[in-house]
Chain A
Amino acid sequence: MKRLLVTLASVVLGIAVVVGIGLVASVSGAEPDAIVAKQVGTKSTPKGELPHYEVHLDVYPNSSAAVPPPSAGTPINAELLSGQPFYKPSTSIQVPANSVVTIHFTQYDSGGQIYNPYFAKVHGSMDGTMTWNGKQVSEIKSSEVGHTFTVHQFPESTQPYLFLSVPLPMNPANAKTDSNGYPVDPQKISVTFITGEAGTYVWNCEFPCGDMYQEFGGPMQQRGWMAGTFEVVA
């Protein structure tokens, strides 16, 4: 009887430890709720009249308590990520399939020379351009990039092709700022593209601006900061 009890206790306790640690890790690493695109009407496209949806994203430097940074999991990680830029309100984005989607970016961060000028150009939008402070452009100067929003094809053979990359221009160093240190007139960028069938993708900023080697550490590798998921739902 004692043997059986010890065995059962070991198995139950072991499973409880695994499940407990798994739950804590899962919950503490969970991302904020996904941003779901909202329908604003319809839009005529080469594929015909399609429903039109919009998403709003902001990009902030982590320089003021006025806009608190996303969760970093642990206090130590939060310390390590302090001062690093991030997207708001979430990096999980959900858009409908077979629709026109416009993403509006408000960019509050500074920037500089991007390593790879390919990402200073617009790729994958409906007409190969984006709107930057009211002007249509297909690229920006590679020395004036703040961030990029780049959606990648996922390694999934059954998914439809999707690639979108938008450069987000930097705010100049002498830009007028408010009391929190954010530019009074931030960069406004909009990009419109057409989604295909349903699929799950990832996106990230392709202008490394994080820690360590080639600045690809820290927020660049962290969902909720400079990387996230992009889901096209049926």
Chain B
Amino acid sequence: MTTATSTLEASSSTVFGVEVPQPPQHGKPGGIMRHLNFGTGLLTGIVFAVAAGWITSALSSSSATNDTFAPTEPEYIYLAGLIGWVIGFMLGMGAFVGPLRWVTGRDLTHADAEYMAGKDLGIRRYFKFTTDHKVVGIQYLVVVLGILGLGGLLAMLIRTELGATWTEVFSPTFYNTIIGTHGIAMVIGMIVVMSGPVGNFIVPMMIGARDMAFPRLNALSLWLLVAAVVCLISSMFVGGIQDGWSVYYPLAAQAPPGMLGYQLTIIVFAVSTGIASVNLMTTILTMRAKGMTWSRTPILVFGVFAASLMGLYAFPFYQYSQILALTDRIWDTVFFNPVQGGSVWLYENLFWLLGHPEVYVILIPSMAVALEIMPVFLRRPLFSFNFAVAGIVGVVALSGLVWAHHMYMTGWAPAVNYPFMLSTEMISIPVGFLVLVAIGTFWRATVWTRLPLMAIYAVVFNKMIGGVTGVYLSDVPADQYFHGSMFVVAHFHYMLMGAGLFGAMGGIAFYFPKMTGRILDERIGSIGLWTAFAGFQITFGSMFVAGLQGQPRRVLQFDDMFNISNWISTIGAYVIGIGMLIFLAAIIYSWRSGEVASSNPWGSKSLEWQTPTPVPLENFAVLPVVTERPYNYGVPDPYEAELEAEDGDRTSDDRERAGVS
């Protein structure tokens, strides 16, 4: 594919038949990157963290402790350690090698870039700052499974505490810590679970590209996520996050140093998400294969693009809120501290400006995966591709106009409650488009029920329950009753976990053959899926009852009247846990010993399945040209067939644009 002509002087390489001028090659391809990996990243990160903490300890004055608003000395040390960790880890991974080589006039050559893409590195490429989108996709999958595993473990502990009514299994501070850490870990995990593994591994192939637009930024976003997660975990050992995942003021200001871990996690994670969003959007906008018009672009690409767009505008608000909170805490600024004149409402607005779009950042890719999977297993086109796209566009348009429904009861600007109620209820219309397209696609379909489609059944059911209960919460009068109760907790678990996580399970089962070259074991996988589904209904169905009875959320102890609902919820949670472990077993077993998959085991028509398995570094030997829509399975719609017969490959959309009736 490529031919290097010189390694001493400025030279050229032939890349896919094109002569490309190259800077001089210094040493072996890869240079210092040959020596850098996850191990050096860990080592450098720890060394930098310890050094930064030690220097801060030496410089800080112990007289600063115990003033009314001043942080204690260990806080400075912890913060410095975290910053040192992030910088050191990224340095040790080799994240700065490319820019440093460019600054010093020793820019990377094509051979260096191929080394960084993991060419001929075997399994070692999964432990390095590798730029190949497929490797990054797998790395994302493993990291996100780890994050969700942490969140799930904490969920089990939470339900253990709540199930053992009137018996304190854990101290209140530890309980508060696991509530907050579970919340933010699951939010991070769910945001990444589709856009990370599927967005990186699948989307470039799906649009007929050889890689992402910015491969090094791709690796950067992944390893920044790893650095951020370590900050989050560290917070549990320095007092924890005791104020829920929203960390409202003034609770956040009273919180132990673990709050700094939360703040730095969000700041770094937002950088990671921003980079990933720009990369995905640029890739989709500029690198689609020839002939892949928007009407020929798979719906999953729309979903990932929409999630990236929402993340790009929403995350800076969240990041900004945490930067200001950090300065309040460390430098005694007054953005949010109410006693000194700060505004807690400012914090709440900034937080929810991310907090609600984030729901759709999770939900839309999950729904898009569902719509991507359905035509394959129902062997017919989507019920209405245009309605599905309209639904996604509608959600994106309205997603930034609904945040204040989280603040109905705070007293902030009561006059805007009703406009926000209207916008929130309006967003159910485009979301409804997506659900209707999903249900409509079943109409007159030949159902080929395999594991990925089973997950979609679960998604549609959970989405329906979550959507219906959400309507009540969006309603101001009803929200006065439901606000802050377990009803809210049950609702958002139906949306985020019920739709998001089960959608992710479907996505993993669907793309597993392309990612690993093996079929995900259907028997173990489906037992895991349906066990988790049954546990899910028990847990959160019962939680709805507790919420309707009036049980407040986030409270360690509660009235005896809630005991039965909580016992049932806890039993259900254990069932979910067992189901998830069985699904994990399916992944582990299949990855090692599963049935070997052909390159296109589902008979899909989209481009990613037209590549060989394992997928070569460059994805396609020759870039594909797209000539039809992605879902033309089986017998086409008679009307569409008639149009196709008349106009060749022109679709009804083309005809409408051309004004042909």
Contact = CB atoms under 8 A, between A and B. Distances in A.
Nearest to B157: A22
Given A213-B69, A214-B339, A7 B238 contact: no
A31 interface: yes
B72 A211 contact: yes
A29 B585 contact: no
A68 to B, nearest CB: 19
- Chain B contact patch, size range: 35 or more
A215 B70 CA distance: 9
Interface string A1-32: 01100110111001101100110011001110
Given A25-B157, A213-B337, A11 B171 contact: no
A217 B577 contact: no
A213 B334 CA distance: 12
A187 B537 CA distance: 58
Contacts of A222: 173
A222 B256 CA distance: 10
B257 interface: yes
Interface in A186-215: 200, 211-215
Contacts of A200: 166, 557
A194 B561 CA distance: 28
B115 to A, nearest CB: 35
B437 interface: no
- Chain A contact patch, size range: 35 or more
A221 interface: yes
A158 B170 contact: no
Contact of B559 (A7, A30, A155, A214): A155
Nearest to A159: B559
A7 B254 contact: no
Interface string A216-233: 111011110000000000
A83 interface: yes
A25 B236 CA distance: 11
Contacts of B157: 18, 21-22, 25
A221 B174 CA distance: 11
B69 A212 contact: yes
A22 B559 contact: no
A22 B172 CA distance: 14
Contact of B68 (A10, A214, A221): A214
B521 to A, nearest CB: 7
Interface in B489-530: 521, 523-524
Interface string A71-94: 001101101100100000000000
A2 B585 CA distance: 11
A218 B256 contact: yes
B172 A3 contact: no
Given A214-B339, A218-B256, A6 B250 contact: no
B153 interface: yes
Given A157-B559, A200-B166, A213-B69, A29 B174 contact: yes
Contacts of B589: 2-3, 6-7
Given A7-B524, A7-B589, A77-B239, A212 B253 contact: yes
B560 interface: yes
Contacts of B254: 211-214, 216-217, 220-221
Given A22-B169, A80-B239, A158-B560, A10 B588 contact: yes
Contacts of B464: none
B500 to A, nearest CB: 21
- Residue of A6, A17, A31, A155 with most partner-chain B CB within 10 A: A6
Interface string A175-187: 0000000000000
Given A80-B74, A83-B65, A212-B254, A22 B160 contact: yes
A33 interface: no
Contacts of B65: 83
A111 to B, nearest CB: 14
Interface string B215-231: 00000000000000000
Nearest to A218: B256
B603 to A, nearest CB: 26
B63 interface: no
Nearest to B337: A213
Given A3-B523, A9-B585, A213-B69, A155 B160 contact: no
Contact of B593 (A2, A7, A25): A2
A158 B559 contact: yes
Given A2-B593, A29-B174, A80 B524 contact: no
B174 A25 contact: yes
Contacts of B521: 3
Nearest to B587: A10
B66 interface: yes
Nearest to B174: A29
B95 to A, nearest CB: 28
Contacts of A215: 68
Interface string B166-191: 10011111100000000000000000
Contacts of A80: 72, 74, 238-239, 256-257
A212 B559 contact: no
Contacts of B584: 10, 14
Contacts of B172: 223
B36 interface: no
Nearest to A79: B74
A83 B73 CA distance: 12
A11 B555 contact: no
A213 B238 contact: no
B471 interface: no
Given A25-B170, A29-B170, 17 more contacts: A3-B589, A10-B582, A10-B585, A10-B588, A11-B578, A15-B578, A18-B157, A29-B173, A73-B174, A77-B256, A80-B257, A157-B559, A158-B560, A211-B254, A213-B250, A214-B339, A217-B256
5 contacts: A10-B584, A17-B153, A80-B72, A200-B166, A213-B69
Interface of B: 65-66, 68-69, 71-72, 74, 153, 156-157, 160, 166, 169-174, 237-239, 242, 250, 253-257, 329, 337, 339, 521, 523-524, 552, 555, 557-561, 577-578, 581-582, 584-586, 588-589, 593
